[in-house]
């Protein structure tokens, strides 16, 4: 899809970076034309490139034989492109087969979504491990769901979900598509949403690969209590802190522990 943008769109500064945000652009290797000049500009702006299946034809999980055959090609493209993340087309998924993948992370499971071709989800708003990969759940309604299925005219649903995720201490992860966002009105909505996200204090704005790296460092670290003092040992020691979590009326409260 990267080859389908107009010159006017490409000249928008917000196409590559807006309000300090960059994105992970997930590309289909063997179906859509890819303009590598645009991809390189995205990378230079700080964006990440991920793999989005192989052909986007709905057949990746049609059988284990097909999956394993395509996985070999998928991982060859990942190595060639320097991609460490994967998202399945149409969020089709098989958690047991996907444990065979060697990506640093996957992001194919919604927390919950009744509108996808494979409805349901993982019922989690935090990262977790799927085999050796970190799974980064899609925790926000997709743009297609919002605009095309539910026929919303604004992003109030996104803002409401972010409020809930922030109260839960969860991950805010959105999957948007150039196909559905490239109108002036929808771009204004999206830009206003990013501005509002930038204004929320205490949030970490990070690429998926950085979140996955942090989750692995966190998992490899431990905390120790010596007397009344808590310390963290391991690769997350210089970035992590120990907090006590409590819940009141389904709202989580995080209190630092020294």
Domain shared by 29 and 77, yes or no: yes
Domain shared by 164 and 245, yes or no: no
Cα gap 138→129, rounded to integer Å: 14
Quick check: 3 pLDDT over 50? Answer: no
> Residue 244 falls within a domain, yes or no?
yes
> Residue 217 falls within a domain, yes or no?
no
Among the residue ranges 30-39, 101-110, 229-238, 249-258, the one predicted with the least confidence is 249-258
> Residue 239 falls within a domain, yes or no?
yes
| Distance set, CA 3 to CA 31, 36, 117 (Å) | 12, 9, 26
pTM: 0.90
Domain shared by 151 and 68, yes or no: yes
Domain shared by 94 and 22, yes or no: yes
**47-102 confidence digits (pLDDT tens):** 999 999 999 999 999 999 999 999 999 999 999 999 999 999 999 999 999 999 99
Number of structural domains found in the chain: 2
Q: Which residues, in sequence order, are CB contacts of 46 under 8 Å at separation 6+?
A: 17, 22, 207
Domain shared by 17 and 138, yes or no: yes
Quick check: 6 pLDDT over 50? Answer: no
> Residue 218 falls within a domain, yes or no?
no
**115-129 confidence digits (pLDDT tens):** 999 999 999 999 999
Domain shared by 242 and 181, yes or no: no
Domain shared by 166 and 195, yes or no: yes
What average pLDDT does the chain have?
90
Domain shared by 119 and 40, yes or no: yes
Domain shared by 158 and 228, yes or no: no
Domain shared by 140 and 245, yes or no: no
Residue 108's domain is classified under what CATH number? Answer: 3.20.20.370
> Residue 43 falls within a domain, yes or no?
yes
Q: Which of 186, 110, 102, 101 is nearest to 141 (CA)?
A: 110
Cα gap 87→136, rounded to integer Å: 10
Cα gap 192→129, rounded to integer Å: 33
> Residue 28 falls within a domain, yes or no?
yes
Q: Name the burial class of residue 51, with classes exposed (0-12), middle (13-18) and buried (19+) by CB atoms within 10 angstroms of its CB.
A: buried
Beta bridge partners of 133: 130
Domain shared by 155 and 37, yes or no: yes
Q: What is the mean pLDDT of residues 182-188?
A: 89
> What is residue 249's predicted lDDT score, i.e. its pLDDT?
75
**Domain carrying residue 108:** 2-210
Q: How confident is the model at residue 256 (pLDDT cuts 50, 70, 90)?
A: confident
Domain shared by 242 and 121, yes or no: no
**191-217 confidence digits (pLDDT tens):** 999 999 999 998 999 999 999 999 999
> Residue 174 falls within a domain, yes or no?
yes
């Amino acid at each position: 899809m990267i080859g389908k943008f107009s010159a006017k769109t490409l000249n928008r500064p917000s196409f590559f970076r807006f309000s300090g945000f960059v994105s992970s652009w997930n590309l289909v290797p063997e179906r859509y034309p890819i303009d590598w000049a645009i991809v390189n500009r995205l990378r230079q702006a700080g964006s990440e490139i991920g793999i989005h299946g192989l052909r986007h034809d709905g057949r990746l999980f049609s059988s284990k034989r097909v999956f394993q055959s395509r996985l070999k090609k998928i991982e060859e493209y990942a190595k060639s492109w320097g991609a460490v993340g994967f998202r399945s087309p149409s969020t089709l998924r098989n958690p047991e087969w996907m444990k065979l993948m060697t990506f640093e992370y996957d992001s194919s499971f919604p927390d919950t979504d009744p509108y996808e071709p494979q409805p349901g989800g993982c019922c989690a708003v935090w990262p977790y491990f799927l085999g050796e990969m970190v799974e980064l759940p899609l925790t926000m309604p997709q743009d297609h769901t919002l605009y095309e299925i539910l026929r919303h005219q604004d992003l109030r649903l996104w803002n409401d979900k972010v409020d809930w995720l922030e109260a839960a201490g969860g991950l805010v992860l959105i999957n948007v598509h150039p196909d559905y966002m490239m109108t002036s009105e929808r771009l204004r909505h999206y830009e206003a949403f990013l501005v509002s996200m930038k204004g929320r204090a205490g949030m970490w704005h990070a690429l998926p690969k950085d979140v996955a790296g942090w989750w692995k460092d966190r998992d490899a670290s431990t905390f120790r209590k010596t007397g009344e003092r808590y310390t963290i040992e391991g690769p997350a020691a210089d970035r992590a802190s120990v907090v006590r979590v409590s819940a009141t009326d389904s709202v989580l409260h995080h209190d630092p522990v020294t």
